Structure formats: structure tokens, C-alpha cells
Amino acid sequence: MMLLKKRFASDELLSMRYLNTRMALTEKETLHYSNLEKGYEGELTFDLLAESLKEEKLIINDLLLEVSNSYFQIDTLVISQGMIHLLEIKNYQGDCYLESDKLYAVNTGREYKNPVYQLKRSATLFRQLLQTLKQNYPVEPSVIFINPEFTLYQAPMDQPIILPTQVNRFLNDLNKSPSKLNEGHRKLAQNLISLHQTKNPFTALPNFQYDQLLKGMYCETCKSMLVVIKKKSLVCGKCGGAEKIERAILRSVGEFKMLFPERKVTTQSIYEWCNTDLSKKTFCRVLKKNFIAVGSTRDTYYE
């Protein structure tokens, strides 16, 4: 098994983490953020299980592709000798049931999006993309429910659904399928990675303004703002976690750049954003060391 594209937290998830620490999210926004975290956690859980794949296979995570002006996401793509497995990972929890192709929670009756629909759309668009690339590999899509605390009642046997109790068997079956890859498989994989779209049009962030966000540095571990400077570290008064000051500043710069890409990174802007008991000289030193300075002395900014 060769992992060609690792999985990282999406820009949307990172932005929601930052905003959750610095502003009060609405109930709807909090639910959206929670779903993003759960989804990512489920994908990481599957990634650990997928490390058991031994036969020659290429794995590509988190692909965002576009065909005929339609975007679609693939959580995990597994390229083997004679088949491409297109996997949608779901970290749903609790008891659900399917009725008339609709997914409902048993206790509340709340309707969820049926992931099989999403998967079938992605599979159709992916096959179209393969045609444009003049490739004719068969594609097998599957929805993988990864959470052991999930139960699905009335699941039809003809649907591409892998339940929590079937995940290990699914991976074992993949392992048992002989797979020898050639240059064509590798070229296809690299082609797909090159087509990955870095800007996600599905991103949905709350409306926020710079002035309304809480300024300051916070603990990386527990997100508490109760931090103090001790020697060369940022120490949390809540959980006791410690982080080197330079690393904490760089983390804050990354946060600033993601939330406000239109604003320039300057000593003054980061000093105000971090709003902590550190001198401007400290910020200037860290920025000079880790970024390229642009402009004259007074108007210097960093890239």
C-alpha cells in the first residue's frame, strides 16, 4: 500500500476551530462545526485501519475534483490492479433507519442526507472524468459507516453500504484481491492529484469581522486564553500545557493569514492579533526569521 496524498484538516475546519475560540457561534454554526470535527475524526479512524492494506495499492485522500463545471469530493480513493474503490467515510452515531431512500434518526425522527445519493453522484462524475482522461477502469463506490456506535436499520442489501461490523472484512477482502500495479496506474494517480482543486466552493463560514474577534494567544491543547509567558514558553494556566513562544507565534500567524487573507502580515498586525505580554521586537524577530520581508522599513510586510 502506498499513500500518495495524506489527509489534513480542511481550511473550512481549521477556520471554524479558530472562530469557535474567538467568537460565539450560533447553534447552527456550532452544529456545523461539530459535524466537521466528527467527519474528520471518522476519516482519520479509517486511515489507521487502511494501513493494514498489504497488496499493491495506491491511496489518495481528500480529492476535490471538477468535471463539466460540477465539483465533487472523494474522501478516499484506492487504486488497485483492476478496480478503483471510491470511498465515502461517515462517522454517524446512534440508531438510524432507511425508509424510501431517506435516512432518519430513530429517536428524534430527524432526517439526514442520505450519503448513498452523494456517493452515487460522485461516482457518476468520477466515471465521466475517467472518460475524459481516456481511462476505462471499473469504479466501485462504497459508503463506509466507521463509528462502532452506529446502527442502521432496514439497510437494503443492494446498496453500496459498509456497516461498522463489516469494515474489517471489507479491508480483508481488499487484501485478498491480488494486485500488481504498473506505470499506467501511477500516471493515473498523479494525474488525479494534479487535478485536485485547492479552493473548495462548498465552504460555509459564519460572517465575521476582524473587530468582533477576541484577540490574544491561546493554549494549543485546550484552547484556553489563560496563558502566561514563562521564559521561552507559552504556558497554560488551565491544563498546564507548554508551547515554545516562536511556535505559538507562528501558529497565530497561520490563523491570521487564513481568516484574513486580504490583510498584510506586519509586525504591528501580528502584535495586535496576539495581544499578549511580548514585545514588538520579539514578533519582528520571529517574522524576519520565518518569512520573507517585503517593502521598505516603515511599510515592511512578510510573505
Instruction: For residue 59, name the pLDDT band (cuts at 50, 70, 90).
Output: very high
Query: Looking at residue 276, what is its pLDDT?
Result: 92
Residue 246 pLDDT > 90 = yes
Nearest to 56 by CA among 235, 180, 184, 160: 180
Query: Looking at residue 245, what is its pLDDT?
Result: 96
pTM, whole model, 2 decimals? 0.92
DSSP 132-149: HTT----EEEEEEE--TT
In the block, cell 497561520 appears at: 254
**Other Cβ atoms closer than 10 A to 88:** 22
- DSSP 3-state percent helix, strand, coil across the chain (nearest 5): 40, 25, 40
User: Are the CB atoms for 170 and 188 separated by under 8 Å?
Assistant: no
Instruction: For residue 38, name the pLDDT band (cuts at 50, 70, 90).
Output: very high
Which tens digit of pLDDT belongs to each residue from 193-239? 999 999 888 888 999 999 999 999 999 999 999 999 998 999 999 99
Which tens digit of pLDDT belongs to each residue from 61-97? 999 999 989 999 999 999 999 999 999 999 999 999 9
User: Are the CB atoms for 143 and 116 separated by under 8 Å?
Assistant: yes
CA distances from 174 to 14, 168, 169, 239, 285 (A): 33, 10, 9, 43, 52
